[in-house]
Amino acid sequence: MERRILFTDLDGTLLDDQKNITPENQAAIDEALALGHIIVISTGRPLASALIQAERLGLTKSGCYAITYNGAQIYDMYNHKTVYGKGLPREIAAPLFQAAQERDLHIQTYNSTHVLTAADTPEVRKYSEVIKIPYEVIDDISEALTEDPYKLIAINFDDHQKLLDYQSEVLSAYAGTLDSFFSNDAYLEIVPTGISKGFAVHWMCEHLGIPLENSVAAGDAQNDIAMLEAAHIGAVMCNAFPGIAEHGNYVTKADNNHDGVAEIIHRFILKDV
């Protein structure tokens, strides 16, 4: 049997709209792992949140990994260790925070346990509730960060144009140091240059000695595009955001509420079983 690897997004892909996994998706994942295949949850969430999800989903067995912060940190769930990490220079966090606040934009970063932000906003309260890790309001981001953070994120639920303006007016000045992209209309992700879920697909395949032609990716959003394009099979959820399907080579018949990932696993991971 050839070992295969599945990279799956969480929200809108593996998880249903209530943030749960369907029994059929769970059974398909368990069968793939039992046969020696690799399952990699791939998310923009911080590691602390991904660990909570992995525990809840039973994805801490041998063969389970997590791509977090959109590829900036890759974690071996079974051996409890980071196998890859790349942070952005902490000294640029302060000017980025200041520029966002001047534009009345919420911005945040992370340490190993908390979301870090300069103000207690509706955005951080909602974000923290969704990802299930606490937040901390800090006075000076430069003092709060003791190591280079894996990413920053600017959030605005009401005015997408403000995020676009911030991206073009501020982040363009850091070309070559930072990359930025949207994971949805409200979330502007800011990561070290070269970092993406697509980069992580190539890195993981090389790290584990799995040919790229044995890779499958499942996703639904803008931050999944690089992953869908990098994997041999880019499986786009039928509930994906507009324009995502053109970046894959398969569209599911079932959505995230009706076992779409199980469909992908049975078609492309367990196909010789």
Cα–Cα distances (Å) from 86 to 77, 107, 191, in that order, read 18, 20, 9
Using CA atoms, how far apart are residues 239 and 136, in angstroms rounded to an integer? 34
Using CA atoms, how far apart are residues 225 and 197, in angstroms rounded to an integer? 8
pLDDT in tens, the chain (273 residues): 789 999 999 999 999 999 899 999 999 999 999 999 999 999 999 999 999 999 999 999 999 999 999 999 999 999 999 999 999 999 999 999 999 999 999 999 999 999 999 999 999 999 999 999 999 999 999 999 999 999 999 999 999 999 999 999 999 999 999 999 998 899 999 999 999 999 999 999 999 999 999 999 999 998 899 999 999 999 999 999 999 999 999 999 999 999 999 999 999 999 864
Burial (Cβ within 10 Å: 0-12, 13-18, ≥19) of residue 152: buried
Cβ distance 241 to 222 under 8 Å? yes
| Residues whose CB is less than 8 angstroms from the CB of residue 151 and which lie 6 or more positions away in sequence, other chains included | 44, 69, 70, 72, 88, 109, 110, 189, 190, 191, 192, 195
Nearest alpha-carbon partner for 2 in 158, 243, 212, 195: 212
Buried (b) or exposed (e) across 21-50, using 16+ Cβ within 10 A?
bbebbbebbebbbeeebbbbbbbbbbbbbb
Nearest alpha-carbon partner for 230 in 51, 56, 70: 70
pLDDT per position as a tens digit, 166-222 = 999 999 999 999 999 998 899 999 999 999 999 999 999 999 999 999 999 999 998
The residue written with tokens 């890790």 in the block is 133
Residue 183 tokens read as 């994971």
| Residues whose CB is less than 8 angstroms from the CB of residue 102 and which lie 6 or more positions away in sequence, other chains included | none
